[in-house]
Structure 1
Amino acid sequence: MKKIFIPLFLILSLLASCGKKKEVKKALIEDDIIAVKLVDVSHANSTEAIKASGLVGSLQEARLSFKTGGIIEKIFVKEGQNVRKGQLLATLNLTEINAQVQQANESVQKAERDLKRVTNLYRDSVATLEQVQNLTTALSVAKQSLEIASYNQGYSKIYAANNGVIVKKLMNEGELAGPGTPVFFMNASGANDWVIKVGVADKDWTRLRMGDRAMVKLDAFPDQTFTAIISNLSQGADQSSGLYQAELKLNTQGKKMATGLFGNAQITPSVIQKHTSIPIEAIVEGNGNEASVYVVENGKARKLPVQLAGVDNISAFITSGLAGISQVITDGSAYLVEGSKVKVVK
């Protein structure tokens, strides 16, 4: 059966009221025998949901830049514009770059002429083998320089890597762009390209697996719940927050998405935790993950501190504190203090 977990603070007010009742009854129970009921401690599996929040982003985010530096001559797109894969987005002023290509090309031609002339002289025993070898190397270097210059010339233009939308234009025409300096921030625009990126604590990260399902609520669509699955789990914590990032691939259900939409996710982990389980009525007080229960020992009530893993509307799941304990008190626990005389009834 699927369990619905409720936060611990929802039961603290009940526990506080029980504490007040206990104070009122304290004078009476010191000399009285309190009738109590016992229940068995059992073992159960829990699948407590993991709650996290984050921002919507694209699977195909890209920060597009020029490989070489130079003056931006022309930008062909605007912010918010949809683009196609391979579409020309911007180009540098190619005067300097074209000159470098021409210079490298002429160096190759000169090296070829020099090598041809020295090779003929070597056949006539006028030039040495070392001279031939040196000019052969010079020709090879000149060709590689031409290849580099031509490669840089080709990457002095920016093309769209995928179909998508220009989210942000970071530079304008006439500005000096450095090598690798982003000029555009681009997202893929397909319906299946959206994820929500959330941060989870290390103890929750260990419970998650690829493909685990989640329910997502976006502030932009308050009346709609989206389904999602984990598509990526980071293998290292973020240095600033200490959290591990999980990417949840969204089923957008045809809704228009945008980078930066805020959302809350409730992830159902596939890793089932095994805990000691007791009825929630056995908990007499709590503070965060710390709580207390009563057990019977030699006809008297003994108070035991326990650590909670979580609670649902029926049970409390205990991680520690009940080793060797087979039964705990439920009915009558609100009137007990340490050492109260008790009588077990059925």
Structure 2
Amino acid sequence: MKLKRFKFTKKRVIVLAVVAAILLGGFFISRSRSKNDVAMTTVQRGTVKEELILTGAVKAEKHAMLSFPTGGKISWIGVTEGQKVIRGQGLVSLDKTVLNVAYQQSLNNYRNYQAAAESALDSVKDHSSDETFAQKAIRTAAEVVRDNAYDAMIAAKYNLDNATLLSPFAGIISSLPFGNPGINVSGADTIVEVVDPSSVYFEVDADQSEVGSISVGQEVVIILDSFSDKEIKGSVSFVGLTPKIGEAGTIYKVKVKFSDVKSLGNGTKVGMTGDARFILSQKENVLYAPLKFVNTDKNGKFVNVGKPGNRVNVGTGIEGEETVEITNGVSEGDTLYD
């Protein structure tokens, strides 16, 4: 088989030369850009905050999930989701027909066993000193049956008395899973949820290495994930004295009170997550720079001033999440290179 000889024509040579020029030009442009892409910043004067950032969620001191003590059929619903309610207001009721029958039957049983117990006691009333074991067994059995009947009557009365759910405090109906009468529910079902918006707070968990830096009254800045561009001011209202039960490590509960609950508006909801920034220390009118421009090696901390590689040793003070105080070595307005 003959190999086909490739013949360079003038046109092909020109095309190859153009392609080579483009590739070579791209190489030098890339090198030029890489040199020009060195990050830089300037030393500024202002406030530096040392912060502890913990993740948490919005909760409410007054937050109730109400259910019936027993099952039954819903006969009446007196509220709707989003409705304001007052303390003691009726919310939802069960059909009381079956509950009332159960109570009346338990009352009748109690009367019956009470009479039987009185008869047993009457038969041994003159034998307190010589009561036989058989007589004692009969008397005790009658008393036990009577007492059990009494307990059953109390339980039936409790179920009847609590067949209507009442709001435990003034608030808003936040959830009503069963919105229509006629639905059968069990004692395990949450029937209605009530929240007092004025009682919301932010809760975080702090481990044993962090909780020592937190104290009641300490200023906090909260940023919710749903409103990442909005800072909400608050202060620590409670720090747990004992670890939380059920946690893997030594974790303490910390509550943060919002400085102005009314300013939160309707957008802030129970369950929303976010970060709480606890201000541990703060300095004003100091020189600072972004953390990434301050380098560390065996000889200490340094920055590159004026141009890349021009090392200047510096001293540092408090360190924030993104910036660090510079105590010496540079002046305000100096240009730093990464």
Q: Deviation of residue 89 (structure 1)? A: 1.0
Q: Which amino acid aligns with 1:187?
A: V
2:278 matches 1:267: yes
Corresponding position of 2:256: 248
Q: 1:196 to 1:116 in 2, by over 3 A?
A: closer
- Counting only pairs closer than 5 Å after superposition, residues 1-346 of structure 1 correspond to structure 2 as 48-52=50-54, 54-122=56-124, 128-172=135-179, 173-190=181-198, 193-198=199-204, 203-217=209-223, 225-233=231-239, 235-236=243-244, 246-252=254-260, 254-255=262-263, 256-257=265-266, 258-260=268-270, 264-269=275-280, 286=295, 291-294=296-299, 310=319, 312-315=323-326
Residues 62-81 of structure 1 deviation map (CA, whole Å, 9 limit, x = unaligned): 21111212222222111011
Confirm or deny: 8 A CA contact 1:163 1:189 kept in the other structure.
no
Q: Deviation of residue 231 (structure 1)? A: 2.6
Confirm or deny: 8 A CA contact 1:230 1:247 kept in the other structure.
yes
Q: For the residues of structure 2 that align with 1:224 and 1:147, how far apart are their CA atoms?
A: 54
Q: Which has the higher helix share?
A: 2
Segment drifting more, 209-218 vs 62-71:
209-218
Give the superposed CA RMSD. 4.8
Q: Which runs of 5+ in 2 are unaligned?
A: 1-37, 41-47, 128-133, 283-287, 301-316
TM-score w.r.t. structure 2 length?
Answer: 0.60
Q: Which amino acid aligns with 1:159?
A: L
Confirm or deny: 8 A CA contact 1:76 1:88 kept in the other structure.
yes
Larger radius of gyration: 2
Q: For the residues of structure 1 that align with 2:326 and 2:244, how far apart are their CA atoms?
A: 34
Q: For the residues of structure 2 that align with 1:80 and 1:145, how far apart are their CA atoms?
A: 38
Q: Which amino acid aligns with 2:182?
A: G
Confirm or deny: 8 A CA contact 2:219 2:278 kept in the other structure.
yes
Q: 1:149 to 1:284 in 2, by over 3 A?
A: closer
Q: Deviation of residue 96 (structure 1)? A: 2.5
Q: Deviation of residue 214 (structure 1)? A: 1.1
Number of positions where the alignment pairs a residue of Structure 1 with one of Structure 2: 263
Q: 1:53 to 1:137 in 2, by over 3 A?
A: closer
Q: 1:218 to 1:119 in 2, by over 3 A?
A: closer
**Secondary structure at the counterpart of residue 174 of structure 2:** strand
Q: Deviation of residue 254 (structure 1)? A: 3.0
Q: 1:329 to 1:217 in 2, by over 3 A?
A: closer
